[in-house]
Structure 1
Amino acid sequence: MTAVSNRSAEADAAPRGPAQPQPGRRAAAHFRTDDVAAADDFLRRTYWDYEARPLGTVEAFRFHHAARSAGPCAMVELEHNAAYEHVTEASGEPMLVSVRRGRVERTTRAGTERFTAGDVFLLAQPGEGYSLRWDELQAVAIPVRPHDAPSAAGTSVDAAGQVVRFGRLATHCPGQRDMLRRTFGFIDKVVLDPDSAQSSELVLGSAARLVQALVADVFGAPGDGFETREQAAGDQGTFRRARDYIEANADRDIILADIAAAAFASPRAVQLSFRRHLDTTPMAYLRRVRLERAHVELGASSPADGTTVTQVAAHWGFASMGRFAQDYRELYGVRPSDTLWGG
């Protein structure tokens, strides 16, 4: 590539891998340069090795990488204004990409697809190679940690619970694309906002599973079902153990797999037991328990301790104040603020 200046790069942090903070802790990695070699070196050190080839010239090269993370949630914003080809033999962690500006051509074993502003796609199958060509790219990406994704939603998983293959790598359904873009906005504006009061460990865990569930729903392989040998499950012992575990651990970031392990049953058996005994799901029951705990905490608060409804909602894993207020009113017939400070 010609006509590219060679000034030094500027970086707040240049880690050798995406930041992995402890639950609730935040981390950021920002890198900006007008040097092509420095940009390539940063990407190789931060993600995985690849071959790169310029596809033209650029008069004023710009590269900006901004990564934010909190607990299991992360988001990467990338600007690369050159026409470029990027080839890797083996991808790392699956990445969900939303194109904000420019054109992208992605080639995998399944073929070549082209994307423009507004499109959302998965970078590649886990562990497989791919090539990207882009021009004036501005995009945002969310890493997908598939080991917590629900296998029943459609993805193929191995014995360790790792996703082996997605059913597809892109969606051309306007409704699905809009849903995915709104999820990007939620992660950006609510979950990873450094000024947000709603990023408790429970909120972060729920947000990460929201991404995983959406990816499994939109990109999962169709046709996978539940095991028929479990359809008669739902005995009292399974239900009791699962219920007791939920009630004892409602303040922790637990998922269906944790509940099933505590009940000595499969996730499907636990789901069937809750449907049989309470006509609900385990996760809906967990939400109800957290709502009840929030009710108790609101009533026990006082003006002296400065407790707010937002703080209590976030403490019990409710990221949306509107949804929290709606559910609370449906259950208790009053607003959360009416209960605050013993009201």
Structure 2
Amino acid sequence: MTDGTVYSGSHWQRYATNDIDEAHAYIRRAFLDIKVRSSGEGRDGAGLRAVTTALADVDVTRLHYSARTQAQTAPDGDLNITHLMGGRFTIARDKNEYRLQPGDVMLILPDQPADLVYDNVDTFVARLPRALLEEVAHAQTGISGTDLRFNSSRPISTALGRHWTKTVSHLTRSVLPDPALMANPLVAGTTRHLLAATALAVFPNTAHNVTLRPAGGVTPQPLRRAVSYIHDHADQPITVDQVAAAAGVGARALQLAFRRHHDTTPMRYVRQVRLQRAHRDLETADPTAGATVAMIATRWGFTHLGRFSTDYRAAYGCSPSHTLRT
């Protein structure tokens, strides 16, 4: 292994080094700043190996680092979420200590320093930018970016921790490695927002405490503009702020209007429209000419075929493959 060796593809990058200083520099570049207090040789020297898949401003990295290291974080507001596959990893803040076991999930708090101890770790690390978290939290609850704070490194529950690992596993196996999928802006945008929404659901944060209150009525005309915008742009990445701007109202008022008049949120309405488009394409597609359920589902941003099939059956009473064949 050559120190600092980098191999790159269109959406991925491999990095490897045996040099401790190079390894620490890589961690600072790839994840967050750390102040190293002590670091010794591990079983493989200071061996660090990393494979990163990038999606715009989101990175998912499989990282192995053999040296035992004690460090303090200097967070910059972005989220780093670790799924420990092997080795030992401890995070401590004040008097609270979280010792991870293989299979556990941990958030390095984005706004507060913490003490880390890691030894011969094998992990998946997802790095999500602060701006993306603020965008998704605002779309879901109307909370402002300055009010979004994460309160604990532990998932809210073991089941939610497993939900995070299953989501990342699906994306890293079926979506992120596929250049054709990543070239689809609808798939790429959906994937970024899925990771952010999952992080917000899994870890305690202030968005959980927000209750939407009436913020003024929205007349039928702006709501019609919002619905029209969604239908006209369903094949493109859409945010709540874009829909609100098209409607000429605030995002908070738009959320309330959709809940009041459509019994859903704007983004769930977007998903319903895309499901309708997928249904239409399945009805008109010719399987003998090579059309598949997977092809049509991913065209409309549905990258998890199991969930797509469940939602489709609930909406139309049959499987998507049945519609395609008939």
Deviation string 1:161-187 (CA, Å, 9 cap, x unpaired) is 366521222236221221122122122
Query: What is the DSSP-based 3-state SS (H/G/I as helix, E as strand, rest coil) of the residue aligned with 2:155?
Result: coil
- Choose the corresponding residue for 2:90, options 102, 105, 109: 105
Which residue is equivalent to 1:171? 155
Matched to 1:130, the amino acid is A
Asked if the contact 2:214/2:256 (under 8 Å) is kept, the reply is no
Distance verdict in 2 for CA 1:303–1:198, change over 3 Å: farther
TM-align CA RMSD: 3.2
Match of 1:253 among 234, 237, 247: 237
Change (3 A) 1:42 1:268: closer
Q: Percent identity?
A: 27
- Give how far 1:107 is off: 3.3
Distance verdict in 2 for CA 1:26–1:298, change over 3 Å: farther
Q: Is residue 283 from structure 1 mapped to residue 267 from structure 2 by the alignment?
A: yes
Partner of 1:266 in structure 2? 250
Residue 241 of structure 2 aligns to which amino acid in structure 1?
A: A
CA change 1:89–1:286 in 2 (3 A) is closer
Cα 1:155–1:52 change in 2 (3 A) is farther
5+ unaligned residues in a row in structure 2: which ranges?
Answer: none
The size of the alignment, in residue pairs, is 321
CA distance in 1, matches of 2:225, 2:234: 14
Aligned to 1:21: none
Instruction: Tell me which of 69, 89, 96 is aligned to 2:81.
Output: 96
In 2 relative to 1, CA 196–183 (structure 1 residues): closer, same or farther, beyond 3 Å? farther
Label 1:30 to 1:338 Cα distance change in 2 as closer, same or farther (>3 A).
same
Tell me: CA distance 1:12–1:268, structure 2 relative to 1, closer, same or farther (3 Å). Answer: same
Aligned partner of 1:287: which letter? R
CA distance in 2, matches of 1:38, 1:116: 27
> CA offset at residue 191 of structure 1?
2.2
Structure 1 residues 154 and 166: alpha-carbon distance in aligned structure 2, compared to 1, 3 A threshold: farther
Please name the residue that 2:135 is paired with: 148
Question: Structure 1, residues 111-154: CA drift from partner, whole Å, max 9, x if none?
Answer: 4433222221111223x433311112111111123232213767
Find the counterpart in structure 1 of residue 194 from structure 2: 210
The residue number in structure 2 matching 1:66 is 51
Moved over 6 A (4+): none
Q: 1:192 and 1:254, CA in 2 relative to 1: closer, same or farther beyond 3 A?
A: same
Question: For residues 10-58 of structure 1, what are the alpha-carbon distances to aligned partners after superposition, in whole Å with 9 as ceiling and x for unaligned?
Answer: 62348xxxxxxxxxx9521211222323322333444454332445443
Bigger share in helix: 2
Q: Letter of the aligned partner of 1:9 in structure 2? A: D
Distance 1:186 1:264 in 2: 37
* TM-score normalised to structure 1 length: 0.80
**Partner Cα separation in structure 1 for residue 268 and residue 141 of structure 2:** 21
Residue 181, structure 1, aligned to residue 168, structure 2: no
What is the rounded CA distance, in whole Å, between the counterparts of 2:4 and 2:248 in structure 1?
Answer: 53
Query: Mapping of 1:1-343 within 5 angstroms?
Result: 8-9=2-3, 11-13=5-7, 26-61=10-45, 62-71=47-56, 73-91=58-76, 93-108=78-93, 111-126=96-111, 128-145=112-129, 146-151=133-138, 157=144, 161=145, 164-171=148-155, 173-194=157-178, 200-217=184-201, 218-221=203-206, 224-226=209-211, 228-230=213-215, 233-302=217-286, 306-340=290-324, 343=326
Amino acid at match of 1:70: L
Residue 95 of structure 1 deviates from its aligned partner by 0.7
Alpha-carbon distance change, 274 to 91 in structure 1, aligned in 2, over 3 angstroms:
closer
Q: Provide the secondary structure at the position in 2 that maps to 1:219.
A: coil
For residues 185 and 319 of structure 1, what CA distance do their matches in structure 2 show? 13
Mean CA deviation greater in 179-188 or 32-41: 32-41
| 2: CA distance, partners of 1:214 / 1:255 | 17
Cα distance in 2 between the residues matched to 1:326 and 1:333? 10
What are the Cα deviations for residues 58-113 of structure 1, in whole angstroms up to 9, with x where unaligned? Answer: 35322111111234543111111121112343445211111111222223467443
